[in-house]
Amino acid sequence: MQHHMHTNIGPQTVVFMPSVFNETMQLLNDSHEYFFLFGEDDQSRIENDLRALYTCEMSRITLRLSSIMSWIMVQRAVCAGKIEAEDAAQRYGLDFQHICLVDNRVLHGVLPSYVCYLLDRSLELYERVLRLDDQFKQIH
């Protein structure tokens, strides 16, 4: 039996990595669970002047993950033929880069350690998806 190599690289080749979707969902679950179970306690323990920072950084995590999920949904729509690949490449990139690409390693030791862990993981995932988006745009 002969296998045919695909010469046309489609979005599914570049993007349809279940690991990205699964990791995003896991991180969403981890963030929600942390915030629901421990967020209030952690917020009450940190200094008053850090509470606004804490809230901003939890919002940054949420924005990263929701931007990634939106991007994944667009890629799925492309693969399903509901959006043209060229249209997706031009109109539906990864959003809010000016907010989501902020590296907050300086907050280690300032904010609760699990928030810093979520910040690091969400930034790494966002950067990885941004590289996928760049590849997708180069193809189309």
Enumerate long-range contacts of 72-79, CB under 8 Å, 24 or more apart. 72/15, 72/20, 72/21, 72/24, 72/129, 75/11, 75/15, 75/16, 75/136, 78/11, 79/10, 79/11, 79/12, 79/15, 79/16
User: Is residue 86's pLDDT more than 80?
Assistant: yes
Average pLDDT over residues 16-20: 76
Residue 93 pLDDT:
86
Residue 1 pLDDT:
45
* Domains along the sequence of the chain with CATH: 17-139 (1.10.8.930)
Average pLDDT over residues 59-64: 96
User: Is residue 6's pLDDT more than 60?
Assistant: no
pTM: 0.85
CA-based nearest residue to 92, from 78, 79, 103: 78
Cα(140)–Cα(98) distance, integer angstroms: 24
Tell me which of 61 and 140 has the higher pLDDT.
Answer: 61
Residue 37 pLDDT:
95
Mean pLDDT, the chain, integer: 87
User: Is residue 4's pLDDT more than 80?
Assistant: no
CA-based nearest residue to 132, from 62, 80, 78: 78
